């Protein structure tokens, strides 16, 4: 199978690098039995970035390698050492590349050298237990996992950025005209559909330098899929002007310059978006005697339509200088009216699953579906093999108000609560006000009271104990005076500890 050298449309599968995991670690040093948490954070994954490059003219590299992935972030480690960031993957694309999503919606129009589009963001690195420590949770025994990078399929569609577009029937002489005006050397032969890809040529006319491109194989019905023109009509969308190259020497029945012009104009109108472009008409092959006569015959009618007409011959170069200067004048006028597109940077972000709120809850059958950026991200970060991490997740969800809203909507203990989309959902049993996985934990889930308990009594407690002791002694004296037994059960040594 032939290997294509020009590719103007390709589907690309991209994925941002996954974030590294945080680490749960405790500082160990001689004579310091509880050195405190020192687990570092994981590094963030690398982005996948499209960047407009001036030296790239085709998408053929992505035709052969359609799967691209950003660098993965490394995991954190003990001693407060954070993981390294994943490397960004920069993919050069030609100027004029249109990026579409899987549904065909235009995401960006890549115009301007240096313009960047982040099509897949890398996942954030997970926090280590050193970053999770607080005054109430002094020694977390868990860390957060890194988030996976964004993943999507996009379509890259190249629209050649040329100043002049040549349109016409097959074998009208468009490739010969480009070869005569510039140093481009396209394939030229005496049969239809010789040109299978758009050809570009650079033309210098006076002080103006501009590019010329042809559209292969336009025939009647091209806008509906006939011939090759339907694949390449997009390449004339960015042209400042269109030049109709008309074959005045054709011997095909039913063909004449006026009919050819009307057919091509009909296809351009059916394609849409080109009605505002200036038109020039090049009556080609006037080096043939009969063609010269036909050109002179139709010229007046074409000029009556308001078209600027040139009689040319790509073979003998007759009339090419006048045509090239006329094209240069149109290009110069167009450039004065349009400012150069500045380089920009665009970041694509996944659509919010919660409609802009922190989260949404819907009921489907016997399940409660929780969707939202925060709850879904927290679930991805949680290590469900660690009870303390699960308790920390429960605390976060409770503070966000998930539990309160579930109760208000009629959820009962034991109902299934699903957090996330269908592909990566996590199912919980609804158990309100229960310290999930916290048999050894205190009032806050994910918190170990053994590490924060303070056995020292406050001044107020000492004063209360002293008052209780004095009351006990007074009651005991009265009991001895009256001959009763002192109430020993009212006091014990444990009350003083």
- Going 292 to 297 to 301 to 304, the CA torsion angle's sign is positive
Residue 406 annotated as binding site: no
DSSP conformational letter for 31: T
Residue 74 in marked binding region: no
Is 486 annotated as belonging to a binding site? no
- Report the alpha-carbon distance of residue 154 to residue 68 in Å, rounded: 11
Helix axes 320-337, 174-181, angle to 10 degrees: 80
Helix, strand, coil % over all residues of the chain, rounded to 5: 30, 20, 50
Dihedral of CA atoms 474, 476, 478, 484 in degrees, nearest 10, equals: 170
32 assigned to a ligand binding site: no
Residue 384 is labelled as binding a ligand: no
Is the separation of the CB atoms in 161 and 95 below 8 Å?
A: yes
Task: Flag whether 313 is marked binding.
Answer: yes
User: Do 124 and 41 touch, CB atoms closer than 8 A?
Assistant: no
168 is in an annotated binding site: yes
**169 assigned to a ligand binding site:** yes
Residues in CB range of 377: below 8 A, 6 or more apart: 147
Query: Was 171 annotated as part of a binding site?
Result: yes
284 is in an annotated binding site: yes
Q: Dihedral sign, CA of 321, 324, 327, 328?
A: negative
109 is in an annotated binding site: no
DSSP assigned state of 355: T
Answer yes or no: is 314 a known binding residue: yes
Q: Which residues contact 264 (CB under 8 A, 6 or more apart)?
A: 167, 168, 169, 218, 244
d(CA 352, CA 359): 10
Q: Is 257 known as a binding-site position? A: no
Burial class (CB in 10 A: 0-12, 13-18, 19+), 474: exposed
CB 42 within 8 A of CB 60: no
**Sheet containing 116-120: order of strands:** 89-93, 48-52, 116-120, 345-347
- Going by the DSSP 8-state scheme, the letter that residue 443 receives in this structure is S
**Shortest CA distance to 290 belongs to which of 245, 244, 252, 248?**
248
193 is annotated as contributing to ligand binding = yes
**CA–CA dist 497, 493 (Å, integer):** 7
Q: Which residues are annotated as a binding site for Mg(2+)?
A: 175, 195
Summarize the annotated binding site as residue ranges: 168-175, 193-197, 214-217, 284-287, 313-315
Residues annotated within a binding site for GTP: 168-175, 193-197, 214-217, 284-287, 313-315
């Amino acid at each position: 199978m032939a290997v294509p050298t020009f590719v103007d449309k390709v589907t690309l599968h991209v994925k941002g690098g996954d974030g590294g995991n945080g680490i749960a670690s405790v500082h160990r040093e001689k004579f310091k039995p509880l050195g405190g948490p020192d687990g570092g954070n994981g590094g963030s994954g690398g982005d996948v970035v499209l960047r407009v490059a001036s030296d790239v003219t085709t998408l053929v590299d992505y035709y052969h390698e359609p799967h691209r992935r950003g660098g993965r972030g490394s995991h954190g480690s003990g001693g407060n050492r954070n993981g390294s960031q994943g490397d960004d993957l920069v993919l050069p694309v030609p100027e004029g590349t249109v990026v579409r999503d899987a549904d065909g919606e235009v995401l960006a129009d890549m115009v301007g050298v240096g313009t960047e589009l982040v099509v897949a963001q890398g996942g954030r690195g997970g926090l280590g237990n050193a970053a999770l420590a607080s005054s109430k949770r002094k020694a977390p025994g868990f860390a957060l996992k890194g988030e996976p990078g964004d993943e999507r399929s996009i379509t890259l569609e190249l629209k050649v950025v040329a100043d002049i577009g040549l349109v016409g029937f097959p074998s009208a002489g468009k490739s010969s005209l480009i070869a005569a005006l510039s140093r481009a050397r396209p394939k030229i032969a005496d049969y239809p559909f010789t040109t299978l890809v758009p050809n570009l040529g650079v033309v210098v006319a006076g002080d103006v330098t501009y590019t010329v491109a042809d559209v292969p194989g336009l025939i009647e019905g091209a806008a509906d899929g006939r011939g090759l023109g339907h694949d390449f009509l997009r390449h004339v969308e960015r042209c400042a002007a269109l030049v109709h190259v008309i074959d005045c020497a054709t011997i095909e029945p039913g063909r004449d310059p006026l009919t050819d012009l009307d057919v091509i104009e009909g296809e351009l109108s059916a394609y849409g978006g080109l009605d505002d472009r200036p038109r020039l008409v090049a009556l080609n092959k006037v080096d043939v005697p009969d063609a010269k006569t036909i050109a002179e015959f139709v010229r007046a009618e074409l000029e009556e339509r308001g078209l600027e007409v040139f009689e040319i011959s790509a073979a003998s170069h007759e009339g090419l200088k006048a045509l090239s200067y006329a094209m240069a004048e149109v290009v110069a006028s167009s450039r004065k009216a349009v400012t150069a597109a500045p380089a920009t940077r665009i970041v694509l972000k996944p659509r919010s699953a919660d409609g802009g709120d922190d989260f949404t809850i819907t009921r489907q059958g016997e399940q409660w579906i929780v969707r939202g950026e925060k709850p879904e991200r927290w679930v991805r970060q949680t290590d469900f093999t660690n009870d303390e991490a699960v308790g920390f997740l429960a605390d976060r969800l409770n503070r966000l108000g998930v539990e309160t809203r579930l109760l208000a909507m009629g959820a009962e203990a034991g109902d299934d609560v699903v957090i996330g989309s269908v592909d990566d959902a996590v199912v919980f049993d609804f158990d309100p006000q229960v310290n999930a996985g916290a048999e050894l934990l205190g009032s806050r889930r994910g918190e170990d009271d053994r590490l924060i308990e303070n056995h020292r009594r406050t001044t107020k407690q000492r004063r209360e104990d002293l008052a209780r002791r004095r009351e006990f002694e007074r009651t005991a004296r009265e009991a001895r005076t009256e001959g009763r037994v002192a109430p020993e059960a009212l006091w014990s040594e444990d009350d003083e500890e």
